[in-house]
A and B are shown apart, each in its own frame.
Chain A
Amino acid sequence: MVQLLLILNSALMLYPIVIMVFAAFKPTAEIFARPFAPPDFSNIDNFVRIVEEANFLRYLGNSILVTGVSVVLILVLGTMAAYAIARYRFALATPIFLIFLAGLMLPLKLAIIPLFVQMNGLGLIDSRLSLILIYVAMGLPSTVFIMTGFLRTLPGELEDAARIDGASEPRIMWSIMLPLCKPPLVIAGIHNAVPVWNDFFFPLIFIQSDARKTLPQGLTTFVGEYATDWGMLFAGLTIAALPITLVYIVLSRQFIAGMTQGVVK
């Protein structure tokens, strides 16, 4: 019984995706006539047309750029703050930690009007930098939270021994402590990369030119242009879903841990 229900549920989860991939290889007329039949997988006309006609590669490049820069900045800045909070005793450590902690609960979407006015004042409307700045600000709290939690568990003897040997503080951080931080950095990286990669709301507000659109936003433009060409639509959805799905299948354990991080202790 449990087996049957689990199989039914997994079918419900996967079958829509299977139909999407099948349809991506079919001409529109065939999708209408036989939506469930497996396609001729050698027919890649839809994909060829997308690469030739649509701006998909451009959108993909923008998504990689924005997500990559954002995640690197989030991890660097987040680890800096977490390292100071976790490894040094100073008066402001707790208040600083609380500022980041408060940021965990605030949906920044609700501050979209002041963010718009602010980005307009900085001349950053229709700039990818506006997205990066917002994503970094959104990602810092969870990263500081994850990294502080981990860094606090590292034993102090490691640093003390290095200090006696005369190593400088930056050197201790870089050569001794950071190499131990790879697992939480992977978790924090995935925790931030997935929502940034998938985000649609902030590009909708800040980006106007087609050349600067990210993949989710570009997909809406594409769907508008090919509204009745279902073969193209399903192929576009398939291409948009492909990169993150491939990474997820390889790293599913880390993805699940990363995305439920902070919720599951």
Chain B
Amino acid sequence: MGSASRHRVWVTFLVTPPLAVMAAFVVYPILSAFSYAFFSWHGLSREAFVGLGNFVDLFTKPHYAQPIMRAFGHNLIVLAALLVVQNGGGFLLAWFLYREPFGFRFHRVAVFLPVILSSVIVAFLWKLLLHPNFGAVNGALNAAGLGNLALPWLGDSRTALAALIFANAWHWIGFPTLVFLAGMQRIPREVLESAELDGASQIQVLRRIVWPLAAPSATVTFTLLFIGAFNWFELPYLMTGLEGSPFGSTDVLGLVFYRLAFGNQSASVQDFGHGSALATLLFLFMAAVATAATIRLRRREIAL
């Protein structure tokens, strides 16, 4: 390797442009995001310093606190449901694919296909498929003689959030599947073979060997799912609208934040102060949980 003193001009030339972009469009905006939360805003102009006032408002004024707490509850439901359906389902699919059964390559490509599509395509496709009268889902249920299960999925406050969770799992399940598959492929074959020779059942192999040894994949898929669940925006925005219809049953923090920061159709008011305060809280919450989860889950990981 060359020493940098001889090549200082060249090294400076190499690192300056990328660092300038990072400074201008990552470091500066993120630091500003924190400072913005301590001011009151009128449209695009910053006004008085209000200290922690914006943060206090979010918890004490009901027109902020009520939607935030309800949305937070929905985000938790989304996280829990996706943890089972998306990551749990992905783990099982990975286990099915692990032995490279007949059609392995086809199934691998098929399960990952929705992952490469835009949320916009996925959202509108499922919105049409879930249409109460003309959608293919209810069409299939009626044809199968299950007409009483043909519900107005997105229009009923009891089923709307579940329908969104299903669409999200359809979109993303290929991602944890292939991450778990890659993790399983690192387990030495001999370990599994000797366990099977000792008479271990499939369930035992899965629970006692594969699951602990695939722990690094579980850590990373959980962390990404957590960040995704609390950043959730596109699917509810496009499928059930900015207000989280019907009756706020699909309202999540991403929608609350967007309405605060960029206004809604009924009252196009921008409130950058309270919006920044909510963004700051979300950021701190996500950083804290992601760090804690990583540390805790890492402990479970076993070095091979």
Q: Is the beta-carbon distance between A19 and B178 smaller than 8 angstroms? A: no
| Interface pair B26/A220, CB less than 8 Å apart | no
Which secondary structure characterizes the binding site on chain A?
helix
A143 CB → nearest B CB, Å: 9
Give the residue name and chain of the A residue nearest to B131 (CB).
A230
Give chain A residues whose Cβ lies under 8 Å from the Cβ of B126: 16
Task: Give the shortest distance, in Å, between B6 (CB) and chain A (any CB).
Answer: 9
When A6-B96, A6-B97, A87-B1 are in contact, do A237 and B124 touch as well, CB less than 8 Å?
yes
Residues of A within 8 A of B29 (CB): 108, 111, 114-115, 118
Task: Give the CA-CA distance A138 to B128 in the complex, in Å.
Answer: 32
Min distance, Cβ A135 to any Cβ of chain B, angstroms: 10
Query: What residues of chain B lie closer than 8 Å to A109, measured between beta carbons?
Result: 231, 233
CB distance from A220 to the nearest CB of B (A): 6
Residues of B within 8 A of A150 (CB): none
Q: Do residues A263 and B220 form an inter-chain contact, with CB atoms below 8 A? A: yes
Let me know if B236 is at the binding interface, CB within 8 A: no
Q: What A residues does B22 contact at CB under 8 A?
A: 99-100, 103, 137, 140-141
- Asked if A220 meets B136 with Cβ closer than 8 Å, knowing A80-B17, A252-B109, A255-B112, the reply is no
Is the C-beta of B247 less than 8 angstroms from some C-beta in chain A?
A: no
Contact residues of B between 109 and 130, Cβ < 8 Å to A: 109-121, 124-126, 128-129
Tell me the nearest residue of chain A to B23, going by C-beta: A99
Q: Restricting to A23-50, which residues have a CB under 8 Å from any CB of B? A: 31-32, 35-36
Interface residues on B, range: 35 or more
For window 85-124 of A, CB contacts with B under 8 Å fall at 85, 87-92, 96, 99-100, 103, 105-115, 117-118, 120
**Contact B4–A112 (Cβ < 8 Å):** no
Contact B113 A245 (CB under 8 A): yes
Q: Is the Cβ of A84 less than 8 Å from the Cβ of B11?
A: yes
What's the least CB distance linking B257 to chain A, in Å?
Answer: 8
B127 vs chain A, min Cβ distance (A): 9
Count of residues in A whose CB is under 8 Å from the partner chain: 92
Is A216's CB within 8 Å of the partner chain B? Answer: yes
Q: For the complex formed, measure the closest distance between the CB of B50 and the CB atoms of chain A, giving whole angstroms.
A: 16
Q: Which of A113, A136, A140 contacts B279, CB < 8 Å?
A: A113
Which of A7, A114, A223, A241 lies in contact with B36, CB distance below 8 A?
A: A114
CB pair B134 A237 closer than 8 Å: no
Cβ-defined partner of A113 (8 Å) among B25, B36, B103, B139: B36
Given A140-B22, A200-B234, residue A169 in contact with residue B113 (CB < 8 A): no
Please give the residue numbers on chain B whose beta carbons come within 8 Å of chain A beta carbons, in ascending order: 1-4, 7-8, 10-11, 14-15, 17-19, 21-22, 24-30, 32-33, 36, 44, 93, 96-97, 99, 101-103, 106-121, 124-126, 128-129, 134, 136, 139-140, 170, 174-175, 178-179, 182-183, 217, 220-221, 224, 227, 231, 233-234, 238, 261-262, 272, 275-276, 279, 282-283, 286-287, 290
**Which are the 10 A-B pairs with shortest beta-carbon distances?**
A90-B4, A137-B25, A198-B118, A114-B32, A111-B29, A84-B14, A81-B18, A10-B110, A216-B120, A264-B182
* 4 other A-B residue contacts (CB within 8 Å) besides A81-B14, A99-B22, A255-B112: A16-B125, A106-B26, A109-B233, A219-B120
Which chain A residues have a beta carbon within 8 Å of chain B's beta carbons?
2-3, 5-7, 9-10, 12-14, 16-17, 19-20, 31-32, 35-36, 77-78, 80-81, 83-85, 87-92, 96, 99-100, 103, 105-115, 117-118, 120, 133-134, 136-138, 140-141, 144, 156, 159, 163, 169-170, 194, 197-201, 205, 215-217, 219-220, 223, 230, 233-234, 237, 240-241, 244-245, 248-249, 252, 255-256, 259-260, 263-264
